[in-house]
């Protein structure tokens, strides 16, 4: 396994992990009523997911061009991190919307 391959794997893991952490941070900010900050954190999470997706897309493009890419547990782990981060960010978005609604109702 070469260094370039491991850089791809680690790029997906790193950006996916950053996105998930930012989404969690956004939930905590929303619970405190800091919705502007929560939305900023969600945007940063989206930016991290875009970075991970770009790394992944580069790899997929290379495969489409005929390059043989080794599939192993490292890559499976990276893809798992990315998919989990995407799902978590989507759920965080929903949670923050519900938290905004709940806090608005409580203010009435």
User: Active-site residues: which are they?
Assistant: 77
Q: At what angle do helices 3-31 and 35-64 cross, to 10 degrees?
A: 160
**Crossing angle, helix 35-64 and helix 73-107, to 10 degrees?**
160
- Rounded Cα distance between 32 and 99, Å, is 10
Nearest 10 degrees: Cα torsion 15, 49, 18, 80:
-70
- Alpha-carbon distance of 42 to 27, in angstroms, equals 9
């Amino acid at each position: 396994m070469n260094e370039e391959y491991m850089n791809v794997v680690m790029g997906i893991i790193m950006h996916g992990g950053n996105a998930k952490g930012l989404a969690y941070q956004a939930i905590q900010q929303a619970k405190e009523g800091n919705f502007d900050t929560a939305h900023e954190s969600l945007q940063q999470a989206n930016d991290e997911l875009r970075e991970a997706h770009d790394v992944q897309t580069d790899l997929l493009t290379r495969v489409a061009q005929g390059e043989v890419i080794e599939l192993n547990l490292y890559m499976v782990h990276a893809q798992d991190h990315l998919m989990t981060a995407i799902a978590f960010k989507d759920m965080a978005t929903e949670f923050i919307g519900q938290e905004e609604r709940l806090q608005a109702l409580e203010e009435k």
